[in-house]
Structure 1
Amino acid sequence: MTEFVAEDLILIRGRGRVSALGLVPAPAAAPTSPFSAHTAGLPVAALPTAAEAAVTQLRRQVPAYRQLDRTVLLGLLAARQATAAAGWHSGSAAALHHPLAVSMGSSRGATQRLEEFHAEFLAEGSVSAAASPLTTLGNVASWVAFDAGSTDGATLSHSSTCSSAFQALGNAMAWLRAGMATRFLAGGTEAPLTGFTLAQMRAIGIYSPYAAAQWPCRPGAGRPSTFVLGEGAAVFALEKVSRARAAAEPTTEPLFVLENVGFGFEAIGSKTGLSPDGQHFQQAIRQALAQARVSSADIDAVVLHSPGTPAGDAAERAALRAVFGELLPPLLSNKWLIGHTLGASAALSLDFALHVLATQQWPAPPFATDLAAAVAHPIRRILVNAAGFGGNAASALVSRLEVPA
């Protein structure tokens, strides 16, 4: 990661999200299970009715959007929220004087449209001319940029399995610190709730045996494996500003700083597995801490990757003990609320971390687990983990910047 000047901060000016919780990051308390039954016979974390209506409305607003994959539409919906929260509307001072770049992550990209085009090919022996441009991974970032009105910024797309969103944010941070951009929309999006994708997850043997109403995704609960697939997106409006400028801004709301994103990799025989001590997690966490120039003692909580698979959950906790010692910070997760959203999961975990920083609250899971309930001490800095098939991992540090009154 590029070295940076200590006086420079990467502020999160706004954020948006969509998931099985709708357009909010987390409820105040555990609701009834937000999971539902898919026609494939498995529990999934699909969008609720109101969020689905927002996607439908978005699809109808622009004729070209009617052909877009659901993954792209979820990204557009979250990016619009982030842009609005940042005040980066068309015609604003920021829009007029500072180009807007886009960096988006997605593990699988245009899943639904790709499967539709492939089915068309098998049935008819041909596909439409739109098949290629609508299924390339690059169409995620390019459509987000189009919808945001960006005409002079970079459009970057990333795919690194379930850490894809942090690859996107890490690249955006590097560009900002290098002075190659001043504003970025960065995040992740995924809409993988298709029959073929669910069949792939079932074939691996990790899918939850619990019904949708039984809280089927249970991070940290041990056996059996409780992986559940979800859909969603989260996008962040990032801007590099000086610490002095941030401190002088007239706001009573806390400012959030994306301090760093660290990366790790382990080369192991199984592309779906990981080492028992989570070596790639250890590398990513240590890199994030070192480059942000903070120690493990400065971390107030950890939002886990923890998808509910016994081996994966145990490896991540082993990695945390290797870095923090036996006394771990409070362990948090939102996957028991939204499932595992693959390439969007890291972004949605980061959004959940910001919710915790803002409210100092999070719901307690209704099942036995090692996830933390409320704690007495303030949460000011959170480590967020992500990992995926292929041996890659990423860890992000986010903190709350207290502005003097």
Structure 2
Amino acid sequence: MSNREELILLRGRGRVSALGTNGQGPAAASPGFTMRQQGPAALPVAALPQETEKQLVALGQQHAAYRQLDRTVLLAILAARQASAQAGWASHPEATLAVSIGSSRGATGRLEHHHHEFLTTGTTAVAASPLTTLGNVASWVAFDAGSTNGAALSHSSTCSSAFQALGNAVAWLRAGMAGRFLAGGAEAPLTAFTLAQMQALGIYSPFEATQFPCRPGAGKPSTFVLGEGAAVFALEMVSRAALQAERARQVSFQPAFCLESVGFGFEAISSKTGLSAQGHHFQAAMRMALAQADCAPAAIDAVVLHSPGTPAGDAAERQAMRAVFGNNLPDITSNKWLLGHTLGASAALSLDYACQLLATQSWPAPPFATDLTPAPSRPIRRVLVNAAGFGGNAASAVISVV
């Protein structure tokens, strides 16, 4: 890991996805896909399982104002509560708490609802505007967390949005502008209009839910599958000395996850839905993340790919990997074959997956032909995570165990 005296620690993690809320280490036979009718066609989607859906519904009934909130906001709150509880922050509320949440589309369901209402009746609800602004995602998380003295920041940079939020949190913590951060991403895009948009792009998977419809690294046909979810992290800056003193008081060794860096890349291409064959934005993001972490490419043991199952996107990311790592490629893995592409939440869920890999030293092997590494070939000490989205944006993060 880097030689910084001050470490950004992930004190707690929370996640909600098609795999539920209990981590990301399921058996290979249990991905989280179901079929949903979309016009004349039925599409595979990665929706919440029934038990997690009950939790989300219950959350929406806990406060009068929550009954109007968009599903994206509720997902973010549910994940943030898990992260805060794991961090034990409720018993130590004295530090300044800020919130930074990324979402590609924000309050998708509420926006479509209010727009339909307007087209149908010519009027709209008083609350339509505040409930559909992107900023209401972070502000409601801050409200639920009881923050009264920190910033509430919402970010939208397509599918790298969660890393924009985490990068902002890292910068604020290092600048002393906050003592603690709840940061991550949330997205609830399983609406008729959003599914129709993905269909229109011609990238949606032709496979049934039971056929592992999202297949990163499998080549043609395109196997993009839309999913919903959120992941939020409780971030805190701690000195090495303070961490050592904390360890001395522990009865047993408790590993801590260190977010070493977040890097960004951009490529100015004419197509805002495309990317170069060389993945220049991926290259820039990975190189920045490595430089910020003071980490040589050879020190990366595994990469959690963005890899959404689109042949062009998958190929460009592999080209970028070869440009950055040369012939010494690390192991590569992805969680999208288990929980789909969750747009603005995907980077955060990939980072949570990276933590799972560091903790368990394992990952499930995809049951289809792919270039993903079936199992780790070496001890996993440091992981690089990639994310990218429409508009030429890319972001990468480096995480390790201390």
TM (normalized to structure 2)?
0.97
Deviation, 1:376, is 4.1
- Of residues 107, 131, 138, the one that matches 1:110 is 107
**Mean Cα displacement is larger for which, 156-165 or 364-373?**
364-373
Q: Does 1:36 align with 2:37?
A: no
- CA separation in 1, counterparts of 2:53 and 2:62? 14
Contact 1:15 1:235 (8 Å CA) reproduced: yes
Q: Does 1:165 align with 2:166?
A: no
* Secondary structure of residue in 1 paired with 2:37: coil
Distance 2:399 2:184 in 1: 14
Structure 1: which 5+ residue stretches go unaligned?
A: none
AA in 1 matched with 2:265: G
Q: 1:19 aligned to 2:20?
A: no
Is 1:201 aligned to 2:198, yes or no?
yes
Q: How does 1:335-354 map to 2 (within 5 A)?
A: 335-354=336-355
Aligned position for 2:175: 178
8 Å CA contact 2:77, 2:141 repeated in 1: yes
Distance, in Å, in 1 between the alignment partners of 2:215 and 2:303 is: 17
Letter in 1 for 2:337: W
Aligned residue for 1:75?
76
> Share of identical aligned residues, percent?
71
Aligned to 2:151: 154
Residue 324 of structure 1: aligned partner: 325
Superposed CA RMSD in Å reads 1.1
Kindly tell me: are residues 33 and 260 of structure 1, through their superposed partners in 2, closer, same or farther at Cα, counting changes over 3 Å?
Answer: closer
Cα distance in 2 between the residues matched to 1:29 and 1:325:
32
Contact 1:33 1:214 in 2 (8 A): no
In the alignment, the residues of structure 2 paired with residue 5 and residue 351 of structure 1 have an alpha-carbon distance, to the nearest angstrom, of: 24
Deviation of 1:303 after TM superposition, in Å, equals 0.1
Report the equivalent of 1:48. 49
Superposition TM-score, scaled by structure 1 size: 0.96
In 2, the alpha carbon distance for the partners of 1:159 and 1:247 equals 37
Shift >4 Å, 4+ stretches:
none
- Tell me if structure 1 keeps the 8 A contact 2:298–2:328: no
**For residues 351 and 150 of structure 2, what CA distance do their matches in structure 1 show?**
24
Deviation at 1:28, TM superposition (A): 4.2
CA contact (8 A) 2:159 2:344 kept: yes
Matches within 5 A, 1:4-403: 6-40=4-38, 41-89=42-90, 92-93=91-92, 95-96=93-94, 98-249=95-246, 250-251=249-250, 252-401=253-402
How far off its partner does 1:270 sit? 0.3
In the alignment, the residues of structure 2 paired with residue 57 and residue 86 of structure 1 have an alpha-carbon distance, to the nearest angstrom, of 23
Q: Which AA in structure 2 matches 1:265? A: F
Alignment check: 8 A CA contact 1:380 1:400 kept:
yes
Aligned length: 394
Whether the 8 Å contact between 2:387 and 2:396 is mirrored in structure 1 is: yes
Query: How far 1:210 sits from its partner (Å)?
Result: 0.4
Note closer, same or farther for the CA distance 1:42–1:264 as it changes in structure 2 (3 Å cut).
same
- Measure the CA separation in 2 of the matches of 1:126 and 1:187: 35
**In structure 1, C-alpha distance between the alignment counterparts of 2:328 and 2:377, rounded to whole Å:** 16
